[in-house]
Amino acid sequence: MNAPPLLIIVLAAGKGTRMKSALPKVLHKIAGRSMLGHVLALAHSANAQQLVTVVGTDMPAVEAEAKKLAPASRTFIQHQQQGTADAVLAAREAIKAHKGDVIVLYADTPLIRAETLMKLRAKLNEGAGVAVLGFLAANPSGYGRLLTEEKKGLGSAFNFVKHLTSDFASYGRPTLRSSSARSSDTLLAIREEKDASAAERRVDLCNSGVMAFRIANLADLLGHITNNNAKGEFYLTDVIELARKAGHSAAVVECEEDEVLGVNARDQLAEAEAIWQRRRRTDLMQEGVTMIAPDTVWLSYDTVIGRDVVIEPNVFFGPGVKVDEGAEIKANCHFEGAVIGKGARIGPFARLRPGAALSENVHVGNFVEVKNVTMAAGSKANHLAYLGDGSVGAEANIGAGTIFCNYDGFNKSRTEIGAGTFVGSNSSLVAPVKIGDGAYIGSGSVITKDVAAGSLALERSPQEERPGWAEKFRTLMGRRKGKS
């Protein structure tokens, strides 16, 4: 059976006042990618034929992010912000024109796994008109509660639960749900906490807000939602009872609580970051990466690390880093926009900036910074060097304290080091400059002209020695100090 076309609606209109930030909430980053970016990537993984982002008024940065990450997507504006159903209906035009499934996601809920979304849609294939993503909450306070039917087979088909109101008489009997007493995945209704009875609030199966629909007239059905509730808002959750009255079934798909963590404040952003990092570290270690102290390694959304790489403590991977198999990353390194080749050895205390491209068996040692430089196989810069804008040939050795002087205050120029070249310690190479294959640069030299292959280049003042000067100087200074 071929799945119907899929429309995913991403709700991104929240103002995020609790973030206390000039940056829109959904543009705050987890693992180097905006929360909106994580959710758009999830939508892409679900093979959505259409993608819509709903933004608030005066949110050009959010619109721009959506267009940058999903150029074929459309954006709609929620003008009044009167609840989740109002937000979804901001995309009414797209919903009415679409023939197929619809999934609603939230741009501030960035941790949902692709396989969870597949399970949600699978419920539609099993016959549900609506499928809701739920979770068992350690502390359900503040969440909407999912009210489900009891399982058949023990006692009567639908057991009454004490103290529940009779609101559900036309839908079957709801039950309290807990981790120890599991009911069926047939969903009767969702109660927002402010509208729930005392008994309903004891239910610990909670609503994530994420829903999937296979209802032909979904826009019309959503249009029947009212704001007759404690907050005076149009709740998307009310669609469950409306769908059941219209003859559609509703189901629940459970996921882990941390998958549906909503981020509304900075502490929750940090919590989401920690969850994401923990997951990704585990994935990499299961794929053959060794981490000596996993909790001290920080990864980005696009970090790629090959098999048999060993990573020591306190290493940070910014966006755009790829590490080939067998490399060794020593402690306290920082990488961004860099490629590290097979068998390379980096650190400790090394920094690789964007454009650093290190080939096989390259050594970059302690307190070495590399920016926009290609280092060929077997080349080395083991101590206290800055290599910026250039290239280093195979098997070349860059001595301690060497600097590529790449910037003249206006322009940046390149330094090119040939294969097998030896650059002595404390050398300054003033770009643009080329050092030929196999050349030697004497320690302490300031090289401003090209050096031919196989040559020795020296640039230093003649050494001057004055016999007896030191003792005379000490005597003179001692007398002056005594007079003072």
Secondary structure (DSSP) of 252-309: EEE--GGGG----SHHHHHHHHHHHHHHHHHHHHHTT-EESSGGGEE--TT-EE-TT-
pLDDT band at 80 (very low <50, low <70, confident <90, very high): confident
Contact 446, 404 (CB under 8 A): no
Q: Look at residue 231 in the predicted model and tell me its pLDDT.
A: 87
pLDDT of residue 401: 97
Give yes or no for residue 164 having a pLDDT over 80.
Answer: no
Alpha-carbon torsion 55, 59, 62, 68, what sign? positive
Confidence of residue 173 (pLDDT cuts 50, 70, 90): very low
Catalytic residue among 79, 98, 224, 383: 383
Tokens 């400059």 correspond to 433
Greatest CA span in the chain, whole angstroms?
Answer: 110
CA 387 to mean position of chain CA atoms: 29
Calpha distance 385→350 (Å, rounded): 10
Task: Compute the distance between CA of residue 375 and CA of residue 387 in angstroms, rounded to an integer.
Answer: 10
Peptide bond before residue 140 is cis, with ω within 30 degrees of 0? no
| 97 CB neighbour count, 10 Å cutoff | 10
Give me the percent of the chain exceeding a pLDDT of 90: 86
d(CA 194, CA 180): 25
Q: What is the pLDDT of residue 1?
A: 57
Tokens of 210: 């994420």
CB contact at 8 A, 442 and 456: yes
Q: What is the pLDDT of residue 282?
A: 98
| Contact call for residues 40 and 51 (beta carbons, < 8 A) | yes
For residues 222-246, give the mean pLDDT.
Answer: 93
Q: How many CB atoms lie within 10 A of CB 328?
A: 18
C-alpha to C-alpha distance for 333 and 271, rounded to whole angstroms: 24
Name the 3-class secondary structure at 106: strand
Residue 285 DSSP SS3: helix
Q: Are 51 and 92 in contact (CB under 8 A)?
A: no
Residues 95, 425: Cα–Cα separation, whole Å:
67
Confidence class for position 428, pLDDT limits 50, 70, 90: very high
State mean pLDDT over 392-414: 97
Whether residue 97 has pLDDT greater than 90: yes
- Alpha-carbon torsion angle 413, 418, 421, 424, nearest 10: 0
Q: What is the pLDDT of residue 185?
A: 80
CB 182 within 8 A of CB 207: no
- Annotation says 383 is catalytic: yes
Give the pLDDT score at 318.
98
Strand duo 174-175 + 145-149: pairing: antiparallel
CB 131 within 8 A of CB 123: yes
Asked if pLDDT for residue 436 goes beyond 60, the answer is: yes
Query: How far is residue 271's CA from residue 294's CA, in Å, rounded to a whole number?
Result: 17
Q: Could you identify the residue written with the tokens 């994935």?
A: 283
By C-alpha distance, which of 245, 254, 219 is closest to 102?
219
pLDDT surpasses 70 at 49? yes
CA atoms within 13 A on the CB side of 348: 5
467 contacts: CB under 8 Å, gap ≥ 6: none
| Statement: residue 114 has pLDDT above 80 | yes
Q: Find the angle CA(237)-CA(242)-CA(247) to the nearest 5 degrees.
A: 130
263 contacts 272 by C-beta, under 8 angstroms: yes
Confidence band of 104 (pLDDT split at 50, 70, 90): very high
Confidence at 148, pLDDT banded by 50, 70, 90: very high
- Residue 253 parent element (H or E): strand 250-254
SS3 label, residue 123: helix
Sorted by sequence, the CB contacts under 8 Å of residue 437 that are 6+ apart come out as 393, 418, 419, 420, 421, 453, 454
